[in-house]
Amino acid sequence: MRDADADAGAAKEPRYLPRRMSLATASPPTGRHQHKVVATVEEALADVKDGARIMVGGFGLSGNAEALIAGVVKKGVKDLTLISNNAGNLGKGLNAWLEAGIVRRFIGSYIGTNEALHRAMAAGTVEVEMTPQGTFIERIRAAGAGIPAFFTPTGAGTVVAEGKETRVFDGREHVLESALHADFALVRARKADRFGNLRFYRTARNFSPVMCSAASVSIVEADEIVENGAIDPDDVHLPGIFVHRLLEVREHEDAFEYRNTRKRPA
Amino acid sequence: MVWSKEQMAARAAQEIGAGSIVNLGIGLPTMVADYLPADLGVWFHSENGLLGMGPFPYEGDEDSQIINAGKQTVTIVPGGSIFDSAASFGMIRGRHVDLAILGAMQIAANGDLANWAIPGGKVMGIGGAMDLASGAKRILVMTTHVTNKGEPKLVERCTYPLTAKGCVNRILSELAVIDVTPEGFRLVELAPGVSEAEVRQKTGAPLAV
């Protein structure tokens, strides 16, 4: 691994504020933005350890980093905290993590028809924290933007607010929610340049760019990696400052969950 | 005669003003889009990150990476846009969405909504329901008037876990249109041939006229 500063390994207390670095060192501190492109899934996931907190982008099966998701199972790490809106569906995507029994805790917003997760919950092997979807992504956004906590109207007066501080603003009750940080983010992008500037495709974007901002190490599975300059600065969806590792994967299953169509007029 | 699902969708479409931003919940509310005049200038928001959602694609045109919040394949109309989930929920929480049409398990006379969990039932998750219920400018609930066991869904106080407090403006069932007012439920309109007595009998709280 060329990225010597990528030290976010096993479970640590999440830290929301960047540590200040001293300038009184003999040589300038090493950055993380020189060499990001890796050749294999194994290299991309080299420092993922047991107990890691991992964010995974995707809305159900749309926008999944398929090779990285499979790679985590193959690597054999366990006791993971999975932070993702859903945890796969129809036996695909992150269902593989649940079926492999490597998830100890799941933080997300929706279960629905996810039978693998229902089974794991019934068996008591996975602890589940349910968050409203907007609060879920705002907690992640806050972590990436250096905001330790925020008040939101969503969930006031519901089970979501239980045990949390509340405060009235403009006559309306708000709930204090905390930032959500991770050791790693695994996301899918349509295109990346070598610095890690990203473009996403359609609704495959969803949680992914925000998750990249909130993880100590964000690992991107891109359909295509291009030279710097090949993406116009005005067309960048996520600046490369939030991206630490890039893997090009050209082939994807891109499975459908519900394939709804209408008849083409004759 | 009660309203059919199609008639309910057509009636709900009358609640949508020209040029508004609308979020349609999963299930019955999804049908409302089929009953809007094309020239009304309504934009559909889908909380997974799409504004300008169009109908289902023609057979053969479906793309697994263009979906709505129910994970169904959809299309994007000209003028549509894509954004991340934080921006999408900012639109909802920030009061930029004019109307959300949602399903319900219970609605209380004070406007409380319960639509995400049944006590003792399988936990399905919250998804975007709490954000939409508390964030959209106006909430229209589309629901059957009673449960499949015949119990009223319009009640004095919700006994199911709440989605949001005091959020519901109007309810459309197969029997009637009912508003939530500071004084409680108020009957606005009856489906053709449905009596006020029947609606009152199937409503679990006082109903003003």
Average pLDDT score, chain A: 92
| Domain count along chain A | 1
Q: Do A59 and B67 touch (CB under 8 A)?
A: yes
Band of pLDDT at residue B100, cut at 50, 70 and 90: very high
Mark yes or no for CB contact B84/A256 under 8 Å: no
Question: In this model, does residue B209 exceed pLDDT 80?
Answer: yes
How would you classify residue A171: left for phi > 0, otherwise alpha for psi between -120 and 50, otherwise beta? Answer: left
Please indicate whether, in this complex, the C-beta atoms of B67 and A112 are within 8 angstroms of each other.
no
| CATH number of the structural domain spanning residue A69 | 3.40.1080.10
The highest-level CATH class for domain B5-208 is alpha beta
For residue A80, being part of any structural domain is answered with yes
Render pLDDT for B146-172 as a digit per residue (tens, 0 to 9). 999 999 999 999 999 999 999 999 999
Residue A71 lies in a domain: yes
Q: What are phi and psi of A204, to 5 degrees?
A: -75, -10
* pLDDT > 60? residue B75: yes
What is the SS3 assignment for B125-190?
Answer: ECCCHHHHHHHCCCEEEECCCECCCCCECEECCCCCCCCECCCCCEEECCCEEEEEECCEEEEEEE
Distance in Å, alpha carbon of B185 to nearest chain A alpha carbon: 21
Least confident of A29-33, A116-120, B1-5, B168-172: A29-33
Which runs of E-coded beta strand occur in chain A? 37-38, 53-56, 80-83, 103-108, 127-130, 149-152, 166-169, 172-178, 182-193, 198-199, 215-226, 245-248
Query: How would you classify the pairing of strands A149-152 and A172-178?
Result: antiparallel
> Does residue A60 sit in helix, strand or coil?
coil
Q: Is the ipTM of this complex over 0.90?
A: yes
Query: What are the extents of the domains in chain B?
Result: 5-208
Going by pLDDT thresholds of 50, 70 and 90, the confidence category of residue A199 is: very high
Q: Which residue reads 């049944």 in tokens?
A: B118
Candidates B131, B158, B163: best to mutate against A (most CBs of A within 10 A) is B131
Predicted local distance difference test score (pLDDT) of residue B1:
85
Percent of chain B with pLDDT over 90: 94
CA angle B57, B139, A180 (to 5 degrees): 80
Top residue of A64, A121, A154, A168 to mutate, by most chain B CBs within 10 Å, is A154
Query: What is the model's pLDDT at position A24?
Result: 64
pLDDT band at A15 (very low <50, low <70, confident <90, very high): low
Domain span holding position A128: 37-136+181-248
Tally A–B CB contacts below 8 A. Answer: 175
- Using a CB-CB cut-off of 8 Å, the residues of chain A touching B85 are 59, 85, 133-134, 137, 206-207, 210
The C-alpha atoms of residue A117 and residue A96 are separated, in whole angstroms, by 10
Select from B29, B30, B80, B85 the least CA-distant residue to B53. B80
Is the pLDDT at B29 greater than 50? The verdict is: yes
CA–CA separation, A25 and B101 (whole Å): 59
Mean pLDDT of A234-253: 98
**Percentage above 90 pLDDT, chain A:** 86
Asked if the C-beta of A119 comes within 8 angstroms of chain B's C-beta atoms, the answer is no
